[in-house]
Amino acid sequence: MGTFGDAAEPQVRPLDIGGTQFEIYRRIAASSPQSFLFESLSGPETLAETSIIGFDPDETITGYADRLVIEGRDGSSRTVRTDDPVAELRRVLPRAPQGRHRYLGGAVGIVEYEAAGLWEARAPLERDAPLMEFGVYSDGILFDSSEGRPYYFFTGEDRSASIVRAEPARGPFSHSGLRAEPDAAGFERAVEEAREHVRAGDIFQAVLSRRFGFEYGGNPMRVYERLRELNPSPYLYHMKMRNRTIMGASPEMLVRVTGRRVETFPIAGTRPITGDAARDAALGEEMAGDEKEVAEHVMLVDLGRNDIGRVCEPGSVRAEDLMSVRRFSHVQHMVTHVTGTLRGDLDAIDAFGAVFPAGTVTGAPKVRAMEIISSLERARRGGYAGAVGYFASGGSCDFAIAIRSMFLEGGRGYVQAGAGIVYDSVPESELRETEHKAGALLAALREASA
């Protein structure tokens, strides 16, 4: 049984409130200790569908390797000891009938990269650090891009009046002390070591990352405001959590489950959008013909097929629109849509575990690549390369890979970005790739501080 038992179907009605989803959220977040905004502003129509706001969750669930800590909005707290946190998470999540919308309440939050060991026995598992954090929401605001108006949904208490009364917070933001870890020389050495593993046949690819750390003060909502303008994406998110704020502009779905349909969208291969239609078309064709890009993409598609094949009906997995070139806000990517039919004895949490973490942030083979990453990066990744999204009370889920993201806690923040290392990687080029991928977030950081 879920935390709230088996709930009735949520009520949904139009919300009479002015402003964009961001303007409404900014007002709500100013008076809510915890809140989230999930937006879809750019990208393929299959990704950019719905935006969601939630505030003041009924409960917060923090998962560790051996326990769940469940804290209520009323100040209550309990610890559930368990040798299977995933099974316990499944037990405590609320359930409700599936409505016409994928999300009408549920568990919203982040699963950290190091949580891989909860699903994959061969992956290392940390004992003391939190591995996931979810707010459990029974109401919220839904923006359907096809209808262009907000709806309020709720199960139980109707809190819509507090939304209308909310006022936005103002105030400056500042940051200082930006630094990269490892530095350029250290990262290039790590690239060479990863190439040695590829040459030795240990792996086909490893994704190595760098962290750009800084100190900050003031209102970080200004950073998100600039980020969504600079880099509109299919998965934009701002999450104000118990002790930290997470924001991002991820281009990449990890997994989505709707009914029995499972989807993932491997992305590999990137070219800029210049604004010149002929030039952009030529760049897209050049990418689709690049042997290195194609080989990497096919490897990741095969990994995605194998991952969701573990939880899907035999023969149901398909690679649709193989290596299609899709346009996003500032770049074009090679994307493949991998789908399958979830087995009848499994659920969205099983589907999530089958693909987590994404091969696009580890490399392949996945577990061996993760071991090599751990030895070369040394510091834990935390939220970076994990997953941000929700398990809906109706049984669906939708998670983005936590890349192009910023993590803020206690006056310290960081952005992290990676590059896929293969046999013929050039260290200087991979270094530039990490800087390019961090670019929009660091630009938002600078502009919010101006």
Q: Which residues are catalytic?
A: 333, 360, 384, 404, 420
| Residue of 120, 118, 116, 128 whose CA lies nearest to 89 | 118
Identity of the amino acid at 232: P
- For 319, the enclosing helix (H) or strand (E) is strand 318-327
> Angle, to 10 degrees, between the axis of helix 427-449 and the axis of helix 221-230?
120
**Tokens standing for 123?**
């992956």
Asked if 303 and 366 touch (Cβ cutoff 8 Å), the reply is yes
Cβ-contact 44, 170 below 8 angstroms = no
The residue type found at 101 is: H
* C-alpha to C-alpha distances, 13 to 8, 10, 142, 151, nearest whole angstrom: 16, 10, 10, 5
Residue 378: its H or E element:
none
| Cβ–Cβ under 8 Å, residues 104 and 392 | yes
Distance CA 52, CA 161 (A): 18
